[in-house]
Structure 1
Amino acid sequence: MRIHKLFGLIFTFTLCALSPAMAGEDEASDNGTKTVTMDAVTVTATKRDGTLKDFPGNISVMDEMFMETRGVNNLSDLTRFAPNVYVKDTSSGGSIICRGISTIDTSLFSPMGLYVDDVAYPMGYMTNQDLFDVERVEILRGPQATLYGRNSESGVINIVREKPDNDQHNKVLLEAGNYHTARLGASTSGPITDDLLFYRLSLQGYTTHGYNENTLTGDDDVNGKKTLNGEGALRWTPTDDWDITLNVDGAARDMGISSLRYAEGPNSTDRFKVTSNESDKAYEKELGQSARVKYSWPSVDLTSITSHRTFDREHHLDSDRTSTALGYSDLDTDMDSWSQEFRLNSTDKGALSWLAGFYGRYEAIDAGIDFTHVNPLLTSKRSGDSEDLGYAGFGQATYEIVDGLRLTGGMRLDVSHNSGKQTYTPNTGPVSYEKDVDATEWLPMVSLAYDFTNNVTAYTTVSRGFLAGGFNFYSATSEDSFAYDAEHTMNYEVGVKTNWLNNTLRLNATAFYADITDKQVREEIAGAGLGVWKFTNAAEAHTQGVELEGQYNPIPELQLTAGFGYADSKVDEWETTSGGTPVDYSGNRLPWAPEYTYNLGVQYNHQSGIFALADLLGTGEQYFDAANELKQDGYRTVNLRTGYQTEEIEFSLWCENLFDEAYTVKQVKNGAGLAMVEDGAPRTFGFTLNWRF
C-alpha cells in the first residue's frame, strides 16, 4: 500500500509538470529581456559521457564553481546541498547515510559508496574527504551494483578530478577564519609535451584550534585539526586510442577528538565545554596509488583501473569523560586494499548502449582496541584481523524501444570470502576465536524511462542492493558475537526530470520505497557486562520518501536553488533485550537517519563582479539509539557570503551558521544511563581568496 501511494504521488506530479513544461518548451522572450539558459550538465555516472536525463535514477551534480562560490571544503559541507544525503562525521567514525539507510555506529564500512576518479574509498573513516581542486561531484541515490566495481547499498558519491590536458591551469587558495583556522592550497596542471604527456599536482594544508575547551586544563584546541593532503597525476596519450593515467594521493591528519561531553548528571557541562584528563588525539595516514588505462575502438572502450590503498588510524581517548583518571581507550586500525576493475562499454549513439565489467579485490584489516580502567574487571584488550577476497561480474544495457522510450536492465554477481580472527583478553585471560563470512549475491535492476518531450523525462526503477557482512572488532567477546551477515534491500523508485521556461527552470522529483531485510543492528549480550555488544541481523525495516530539486535563473545575474528530501525510515520488526529486559523496537525510527533535509539559496552576481549569496540549510530530527530516547530536533543554519569574482580571482567574506544554531551530531549514554553529546559547529566567519592563472 505504501508503494502505491508513493507511485501515485510522483505520477500526479508528472501530469502537473507536463503542461507547463510543454507550454514553455518553445517559449521565446518577446519583450527584449535578456534570459539565461542553463547548460546541459555532463556526467560520467553511467561510465559513459551523458546528461542528467540519461541516468535512470536520481542524481545531483555540483561543479567546481558551485563549491568554490559557497566555500565548500569537504564532503560533509557539500552533502547539505543534496536532499536525503547526510554525512555522519564524529569521534567514533564516519558514514554516509542516503535515504534513511544508516548503519551501526562503530561499523567500519558505509552503506553509501565513495569513489575518487574511479577508485573506491571503502572505510567509514575516509568519508569526509577534502574537496580541493575537484572538477565536480556526482551523487547517485539508490543501489549502483550494475555500474560500479565495488558494491554499494544505498548510492554512490563520485568525485571527479579534472583531467590534465594542453591547457595550463594554476590555482592558489588562501583562507582564514576564527578559532585560529587557516587553509592554504595550490595546484597546477598542464602539458609536459603537447598532445602527449600531461601532469597535475595539488597540495593543501589546513589547521584549526576547533571550538571546544577542556574545563580541566583550559586548553582551547582539544578538538583542533592539522591536515596535509596532496595528489599527483601523470597522463600519457601516445595515440588517439590510448589514454593512460597514473595517480598517487595521500593525507596525514593530526586531530583532537575531545568532543564528547555530558549533557546531564554531576559532570554535565555547557556547549563546547568538555572535561578530560587524557590527550584525546587521533592520527590518520592515508596513501593511494592507481593506474587507469583506457583503449578506444571505433564503437567500444576498454578501461582498466588498478588501485592500492592503505589507511592507518590510531587514537587515544578518555573513555569516562570526567576529570578523574578512571579509564581510557587506545585504538589502532589498519587497512591494506588492492583492487582491479575491467570494463567494456559502447560509445556509439545507436539504439543499444551497454557496459560490462569485472571487479576483484583483496582487503586486509588489522584492528585492535585496548580499554584500560582503574577497576581491573573493566580492563580488556582486543586484537584481530581479517582478509576479504571478493570478485564480481556486472553489466547494464539500455535499449531505445521506440523514439524516447528506453528500457534498461542490469545484473551483478557478487562473491566474497571474508575470514576473521580475534583474541579477546579480559582480566580472566585470553580467548581466541575465528569466523568466516561468505556471501554470493545476485543483484538485478530494471528501469523504464520515457521522454514526453525534449524537456520532460519520467522513469521508474526497481533494484536490489546489499551491505556486506563483517566483524565486530571493538566489542566482541566470543565467536557468536564476532561476525554478522549481509543486509539486503529491494528498492522501488519513480521520478521525473523537467526543464521549463526556455531551460531557465530545472525541476526534478523522485519518490522511493525500500524494504530492508536482515538489517544489521547492535544488541547487548545478556549477562556479559557493561558495554559488551554483538552485531546481528535481527531487524526488518523500510524507508520511503521523496526528493525535490530545483534551480531557476530568471535573469542572468540571479540564481535560485532549492532542494528537499524526506526519508521515513522505520523498524518493522525487532525484538531484543535492554538491560536484560525484553523490548520491542518495532515502529521506531532507524538511528543516525535524519527525517528530512533541505536547502534554499539565492545568489546575485553583478556585472561588475561583485556577488552575494545566502543559503538556508536544514536537517530534520534524528535519533541516535534504537530505543529512540536520544534525539536531536530539527535544526537549520544560515550561511552568507559576499565578495568579488572574475574568471581569474575570487575574494569573499563569509559567515556560516550566522545565528549560532545549537545542535548535536552525536548522542550516547554511558553505563549509568547519562547522556553524552557532541556539539555541531558554531558560528564561524572569515575570508577566502581563490586565484586562478
Structure 2
Amino acid sequence: MTAPATLLLALQIAASPAPAPPTAGPDVQTTTPPAAQEDAEPVPGRLGAAQQGGGDIVVTARRRSESVQRVPIAISVIGGTALAETGAYNVNRLTQLQPSLQFYSTNPRNSAANIRGLGAPFGLTNDGIEQGVGIYVDGVYYSRIASATFDFTDTQRIEVLRGPQGTLYGKNTTAGAINIISRAPSFEPEARVELSGGNYDFFQAKGSVSGPLVADQIAIRLSGSLTTRRGTIYNLRADEWQNSQDNLGLKTQILWRAAPNLDVTFAGDYNRQNPRCCVQYYARVGATQRPLARQYAALAAAQGYAVPSTDPFDRITDVDTPLQARQSLGGLSLTANWDVGAATLTSITAWRFWNWNPSNDRDFIGLPVTTVSANPSQQRQLTQELRAASNGRRALDYVVGAFFFHQTIDTQGLQVQGAAAPAFLSAAGTAGLTARNTIGFTNISAAVFGKVTWHVTDRLSVAPGLRVNYDEKEGDYLSLVTTGAGSTTLTSAQRGVLAPQSYQPKFDNWNVTGDINLAYDFSDDVHGYLTYARSNKSGGINLSGLPLDAGNNPILSSATVKPEKVNHYELGLKTQLLDRRATVNLAAFWTDIFDYQATVTNGQLGVLRGYLANAPHVRTRGVEIDSAFRPSERLNVYANGTFTDARYVRFTDAPCPPELSGGTNAAAGQAASAPGTPGGISPANCNVSGQILPGVSKWAFSYGAEYDHPAAFAGLPGNFYLGYEGSYRSKFSANPSRSIYTDIGGYSLSNFRLGYKEEGGINVFAWLRNAFNQDYFELLATQSGSTGLIVGQPGDPRTYGATVSFAF
C-alpha cells in the first residue's frame, strides 16, 4: 500500500464513529415495551414491523440508534421480511406501502421519487439539477434516482423520512430521504435463500451467506439477486414481449473489528439490468389548436396508418424502434466507526459509477417519424462524509458533520428523423435529419452541518440545526445537426425540429439553511413535536437543450435555473395505546417553495425533451396518519393515509396544456381561442396559478392485515397465515400544466398472501398481486408537436406466484 493510501486509511479510521459492533440482526430491531429498557435484547419484527405494537422499533434516522416513536420526524419503517412478503423489492413498489411516497419512471434514467409531492420535477429527467429526495444505501448517497432502481438485496430495513433533512444527512434533501440499511456481516455462520416464481415467466432468486474469516475480528457477507420476467406489452412488429425485467445484483461486505470500539466495513456492489424496455404507446387522442390536417388523426390517415388497438389495456403495440434500457451500476465504499466514549466518529468514503445505454421510440407509434432516440450516459461520483454523534442521552446531544460530493456525467445523444417525419411534422426536408449531442457535466457540492438537542427537562427538548452549503455546476452542451445529405446548412423548418446549439452553462452558490425542532413527551407512549425548517435545493443548469426564440435560436437566458427556497412547518403526534397494541402517528405539514424548479415544454414541432424553469411560488400542505393495531396475538392490522394539497400558488407564464397549444400565436391584446379549436389562436403562455402540481394525488392510502394460526409441520412449530395489502390513489395530473387529456383516474390495488412459516426457518407462501386485475396508468404523456396523441404506460396486470425462503 502506498504512503498516501496508508495515510488516508489511517485518517478514516481515526475519524470514524459507529454504534456498537454490528451483529447479525433481525429485519427491524425492536426493544421490549418499557421505554426505559432501550438496551434490551432486540427481537424480530413481524409484518410491517415498524408499525406493529409490542416493542420499540430501533432506527438510525438521526445518526444514532433510538426508538422510532421518540424520533421527532415523520418516519416510516419497513423490515426486510415485510419487503419480501409484500413483493416490494424495489423503490417503485414501495409506493404501495407508503402513500406519501410517489415514484414515476418511463425508464430507469427518467425516474423520479417524490415525497409529499416534492423532490424532482415531473417529466423527463434533466441531469443538471438535484433530486430533492435523498437516496442513501448504508450511509452512501446515491446522486441519481436511476442509480437506485436496483432490486433490494439482503435488506434489513428501509426508513422513509418525510420533510427536509439537511442538518442530519450528507446531501441537502428538501423533501425527505429514503434510508436503505443492509444486513451486516455476522460472526455467526448463517445463510438465507429466497426463490420466487410466477406468471409472465417471473423468476427471482435471492441469497446471502455470512460468517467469520478470522474469529471475532473479520466477518464477510456475500449477497446476490436475480430477477427475470417477460414483458407485459406485446409488440406485433418486433414479435416480442416488451417492458420485461432482467436484473442481476451482487454485493460483498467485509467487516473488520479492529478494536473493541472500532469497526471498519468495506463494501462493493455491482448491478446489471438489461430489460426490453420501456414502451409507451397509444392511450387516447385529444383535440389541440393545430390545423385539423396537422392533428394526429389526419396525419395518421394520410400515411395509411392505424394503431393495432385503441384500447391501451389490450397491451399491444407496434412501435418500430428497438427498445433497450441497459444499465450497469455499482461502487465501493469504506465505512469506519470509532466509539470514543462520549461520541462516535464516522467516516464514509464511497466511489460509484452508473452506465446507461438506452434506445427509445419517441414518436410512440409504428411510423418512422423518429427512428433513433438515445442518450447513452456515464456517471461517476465520489463522496466523503465525516461525522461525530454523541453517545447516550445527555443534557446536550449532537450530530456534526462535513460532506463533499463530486460528480461527472458524460452523455452522447443521438436523434434521427425518419421517412415519415416531413409529412407527420409538416416540415419539409426533415427525413434523415440527425442531431448528435455531446454533453458534459461536473457537479461539486460541499457542506458542514450539525444539530444539537438540548434536553431542557426530562420531557422537553429543543433541537436547532444549521447547514452551510456550497454548490457548483458546469456544463457543456453541443448539438450538431445535419440533413439527410450530411449538410449543416438548415432551413427554418429543419431548425424548428432539431436546432443546432452550443452553450456552456455554469452555476455556483453559497447558502445557509437550518431548522429548529421542539419535542415534548406527554408520557412514555405519547410524544409530540413541532418543526420549522428553512431549506434550499441547489440551482441547476439545463442540459437537455434550450427553448428557441422566434428565429429558432436558443434562448441562452434559460440555461440556468435558480435554487429552490423552502419554508417548512410541521406538527406531529406519536402515540402508542392499549399496552402498545395500537400505534397511531399523526403529522400535519405546510411547505412553501419559492422558485420551484418545474419541467416545461415549448411549441416546437419536434421537441422531445422539456427544459427547466422556475415557478415563483408553489405550496404543498396536508395531513398524514400511520397506524397499526394488534387486537390479538394472531392478528395485525395497519392503515396509513395522506391528504396532500399541492398547488402552484403563482405561475403566470407557464407552458400551456395540449388543448391550448399548436395554434397561431396570439398577438398583443388578441384573445385566445377556446381549448381544442382546430386552427385556433394559442396564448403565448398560460397562468396556471391555483392548479394542482403534477404527479400528486390529493388522497392516498395503504392498508392491510395479517392473521396467523399456530400449527406444527414435520414436528416443528410454525404458523399458517393469510395476509392482505391494499392501496388507493385518487386522480392526479400527468402534465406539468394540467390537461383534460392527461389526468390519471384514481385506482385501488389489492394483494393477497397465503402461507406457512416456521420461526427463524422456512417460509412458503402463494401470492396474488393486483388481484382484481385493475386497469390503470402509471403515466400519461403527450406526443411532441401538439398532434393531440396521448401515450401511456399501464401498470402491471394481475400477477400470481409462490415464494419459498429459508434461513439456516
Give the TM-score normalised by structure 1. Answer: 0.92
Distance 1:312 1:352, change over 3 A: same
Corresponding residue for 2:627?
Answer: 550
Corresponding residue for 1:612?
Answer: 722
Asked if 1:508 corresponds to 2:585, the answer is: yes
Corresponding residue for 2:459?
Answer: 404
What pairs up with 1:407-486 in 2 under 5 angstroms? 407-427=462-482, 428=488, 430-476=500-546, 478=554, 479-486=556-563
Conserved? CA contact 1:613–1:641, under 8 Å:
yes
Which moves more between the two structures, 228-237 or 474-483? 474-483
Task: For structure 1, list consecutive stretches of 5 or more residues without a partner in the other structure.
Answer: 1-23, 26-35
Which moves more between the two structures, 628-637 or 380-389? 380-389
Asked if 1:318 corresponds to 2:355, the answer is: no
CA distance in 1, matches of 2:514, 2:528: 21
Corresponding residue for 2:332?
Answer: 289
Corresponding residue for 1:147?
Answer: 168
CA distance in 2, matches of 1:395, 1:448: 16
CA distance in 2, matches of 1:319, 1:529: 10
CA distance in 1, matches of 2:88, 2:606: 44
In the alignment, residue 391 of structure 2 is paired with which amino acid?
T
After TM superposition, give the deviation of residue 288 of structure 1 in Å. Answer: 0.8
CA distance in 2, matches of 1:538, 1:545: 21
CA distance in 2, matches of 1:690, 1:90: 32
Conserved? CA contact 2:362–2:608, under 8 Å:
no
Corresponding residue for 2:565?
Answer: 488
The 3-state SS of whatever aligns with 1:594 is coil
After TM superposition, give the deviation of residue 616 of structure 1 in Å. Answer: 1.3
CA distance in 2, matches of 1:179, 1:525: 40
The 3-state SS of whatever aligns with 1:289 is strand
Conserved? CA contact 1:94–1:126, under 8 Å:
no
In the alignment, residue 440 of structure 1 is paired with which amino acid?
W
Choose from 738, 744, 761 the match for 1:632.
Answer: 744
After TM superposition, give the deviation of residue 439 of structure 1 in Å. Answer: 1.7
Q: Residues 464-500 of structure 1, C-alpha deviation per residue, up to 9 Å, x if partnerless?
A: 2232232332333643343322212111000100000
Corresponding residue for 2:24?
Answer: none
Choose from 646, 664, 669 the match for 2:777.
Answer: 664
After TM superposition, give the deviation of residue 533 of structure 1 in Å. Answer: 4.1
Choose from 252, 268, 276 the match for 1:232.
Answer: 252
Which moves more between the two structures, 172-181 or 530-539? 530-539
Distance 1:216 1:686, change over 3 A: same
Conserved? CA contact 2:501–2:545, under 8 Å:
no
After TM superposition, give the deviation of residue 596 of structure 1 in Å. Answer: 2.4
CA distance in 2, matches of 1:124, 1:296: 33
Corresponding residue for 2:147?
Answer: 126
CA distance in 2, matches of 1:601, 1:289: 38
Corresponding residue for 1:243?
Answer: 263
CA distance in 1, matches of 2:228, 2:601: 39
Corresponding residue for 2:274?
Answer: 254
The 3-state SS of whatever aligns with 2:258 is coil
In the alignment, residue 71 of structure 2 is paired with which amino acid?
F
What pairs up with 1:301-450 in 2 under 5 angstroms? 301-327=344-370, 328-374=372-418, 375=421, 377=430, 379-427=434-482, 428=488, 430-450=500-520
After TM superposition, give the deviation of residue 66 of structure 1 in Å. Answer: 1.7
Q: Residues 605-644 of structure 1, C-alpha deviation per residue, up to 9 Å, x if partnerless?
A: 1111111111111122111112311111111000000011
Q: Residues 283-308 of structure 1, C-alpha deviation per residue, up to 9 Å, x if partnerless?
A: 10101100001111111111100000
CA distance in 2, matches of 1:531, 1:103: 16
CA distance in 1, matches of 2:92, 2:445: 29
Conserved? CA contact 2:529–2:571, under 8 Å:
yes
What pairs up with 1:12-27 in 2 under 5 angstroms? none
Choose from 312, 332, 345 the match for 1:270.
Answer: 312
The 3-state SS of whatever aligns with 1:67 is helix
In the alignment, residue 458 of structure 1 is paired with which amino acid?
G
Corresponding residue for 1:43?
Answer: 59
Choose from 761, 767, 791 the match for 1:654.
Answer: 767
CA distance in 2, matches of 1:137, 1:129: 14
CA distance in 2, matches of 1:407, 1:203: 44
In the alignment, residue 103 of structure 1 is paired with which amino acid?
P
Conserved? CA contact 1:179–1:208, under 8 Å:
yes
Q: Residues 635-660 of structure 1, C-alpha deviation per residue, up to 9 Å, x if partnerless?
A: 10000000111121101101000001
Asked if 1:687 corresponds to 2:802, the answer is: yes
What pairs up with 1:43-62 in 2 under 5 angstroms? 43-62=59-78
In the alignment, residue 663 of structure 1 is paired with which amino acid?
Y
Corresponding residue for 1:623?
Answer: 733
- What is the RMSD computed on CA atoms of the aligned residues? 1.9
Asked if 1:583 corresponds to 2:686, the answer is: yes
In the alignment, residue 449 of structure 2 is paired with which amino acid?
F
Q: Residues 526-545 of structure 1, C-alpha deviation per residue, up to 9 Å, x if partnerless?
A: 66864464311133110000
Conserved? CA contact 2:398–2:450, under 8 Å:
yes
Corresponding residue for 1:280?
Answer: 323
Choose from 95, 114, 118 the match for 1:97.
Answer: 114
Choose from 213, 217, 228 the match for 2:234.
Answer: 213
Task: For structure 2, list consecutive stretches of 5 or more residues without a partner in the other structure.
Answer: 1-33, 36-51, 286-305, 422-428, 483-487, 490-499, 548-553, 666-682, 712-718
Distance 1:373 1:411, change over 3 A: same
CA distance in 2, matches of 1:524, 1:613: 45
After TM superposition, give the deviation of residue 558 of structure 1 in Å. Answer: 0.6
Which moves more between the two structures, 47-56 or 287-296? 47-56
The 3-state SS of whatever aligns with 2:273 is strand
Corresponding residue for 1:157?
Answer: 178
Q: Highest CA radius of gyration, 1 or 2?
A: 2
Asked if 1:678 corresponds to 2:722, the answer is: no
CA distance in 1, matches of 2:243, 2:105: 13
In the alignment, residue 790 of structure 2 is paired with which amino acid?
A
Identity of aligned residues (%): 25
Q: Residues 111-162 of structure 1, C-alpha deviation per residue, up to 9 Å, x if partnerless?
A: 2111000001111212433122111111100010000111111000000112
